Amino acid sequence: MAKKRRKFTQCPNCNYSYEEVNNYCPNCGQENHDLNVPVKHLAWEFLEGTIHYDTKVWRTLKYLLLRPGLLTEKFNLGQRASYVPPFRLYVFVSIVFFFVLALRAGQDNDNVQVKIAEEKAAAALTDSLLNANKAFVLPADSAAVGLPALPLEERSEMWEEFMTKFRKFTQDEADSTQKLLKNTSFMMFLLMPFFGLILHLFYYKQRRNYVEHLMFSIHFHTFFFILVILALGVEFVFEGFDVDTWVFWIAVVYLFLALHRVYKQSYLRTFVMLLPVGIVYLIALTLLFLGTLAVSVMMS
């Protein structure tokens, strides 16, 4: 929708003489739009702009949720003005997503039974790791095969330092949850371009630009965040409902349909591609999450 402008003939800021086509001053960059009008005109302009933006939001969300891959396809075709930009949409949804997770984590921390279970699990894991450390001995010829051969005393000190931080991490639940969520948000931000790279490698024969794969990744992760938000709402209303299984399979089906639409392959070929793409993605997700957990522990 084109903006209706009340144009000046001369720039009030630098006195540049406008031509009819000038929406901005070529000299200083100020917008050529007169705001010195009755309040009702400004209110109408604001309402008109808000309704137009809301229309873009609802259209974008409708296609994102109900038409897997369509937003990515339209972006790749250059049809972008009618939809919320992918990265802006992702940032907004991710903020809501991690806010909801933080609220959920706070509720869990208030649950005494959950606290007891977590403390028991942490203690059991600590004992298991300590026993594993005692049983672990590098072979005498480890240097010969290229393995790092740190002195046993140095390894023990590093391990004890990590275990001390790990015990501190598991004891202070509120602080550890906050750090983990903060680092996880950064991890997911890194995962998006990595997933785009995975798609770029598996679909390299299509000779697409990396940006097209990145847009697919942004849209998919945005959908996943919205899906989890909705699932947490369902779980809050219907306690005991197994939302995890539903989230997993809905995400898998969505990814399958999105790949089929964007990369224009048959359903059978798409399914064949889905398996290795999904496996590599899950491996990368697991490794990044373990790395995020380790960083969160060392920051405690």
Instruction: Tell me the percentage of the chain whose pLDDT exceeds 70.
Output: 65
Lowest mean pLDDT among 14-18, 49-53, 211-215, 292-296: 49-53
The model carries a pTM of: 0.65
Across the range 183-200, mean pLDDT stands at 86
Q: Which of 112-116, 150-154, 157-161 has the lowest mean pLDDT?
A: 112-116
In 3D space, the residue among 78, 76, 75, 102 whose CA is nearest the CA of residue 89 turns out to be 75
Residue 129 confidence (pLDDT): 45
Can you tell me the mean pLDDT for 143-167? 60
Task: Collapse the DSSP code of 17 into the 3-class scheme (helix H, G, I; strand E, B; otherwise coil) and give the result.
Answer: strand
Q: Classify residue 259 by its DSSP letter.
A: H
The Cα diameter of the chain in Å comes to 87
Least confident of 16-20, 223-227, 274-278, 280-284: 16-20
Whether pLDDT at 270 is above 70: yes
Average pLDDT, the chain: 76
Q: How far is C-alpha 85 from the geometric centre of its chain's CA atoms?
A: 15
Per-residue pLDDT band at 20 (split at 50, 70, 90): confident
Which range is most confident: 2-16, 108-122, 164-178, 188-202?
188-202
Q: For residue 152, name the pLDDT band (cuts at 50, 70, 90).
A: low
pLDDT at 31: 80
In the chain, what percentage of residues exceed pLDDT 90? 28
136: pLDDT confidence band, cut at 50, 70 and 90?
A: very low
Q: Measured at the alpha carbon of residue 283, what is the angle toward residues 130 and 143, in degrees to the nearest 5?
A: 50
Residues 6+ apart with CB under 8 A from 183: 292, 295, 296, 299
What is the predicted pLDDT for the residue at 138? 43
Higher pLDDT, 6 or 3: 6
Distance CA 242, CA 7 (A): 59
Q: What is the Cα–Cα distance from 121 to 124, expressed in whole angstroms?
A: 5
pLDDT digits (tens, 9 = 90+) for 32-85: 776 655 565 555 555 555 445 567 888 899 999 999 999 999 998 888 888 888
Question: For 280-300, what is the mean pLDDT?
Answer: 82
The letter for the amino acid at 217 is S
- What pLDDT sits at residue 96? 87
| Helix 173-202 × helix 267-298 angle, to 10° | 150
Q: What is the pLDDT of residue 142?
A: 45
pLDDT at position 48, please?
Answer: 55
Per-residue pLDDT tens digits for 200-218: 999 999 989 999 999 999 9
222: confidence class by pLDDT, cuts 50, 70, 90: very high
Which of 51-55, 120-124, 201-205, 288-292 is least confident? Answer: 120-124
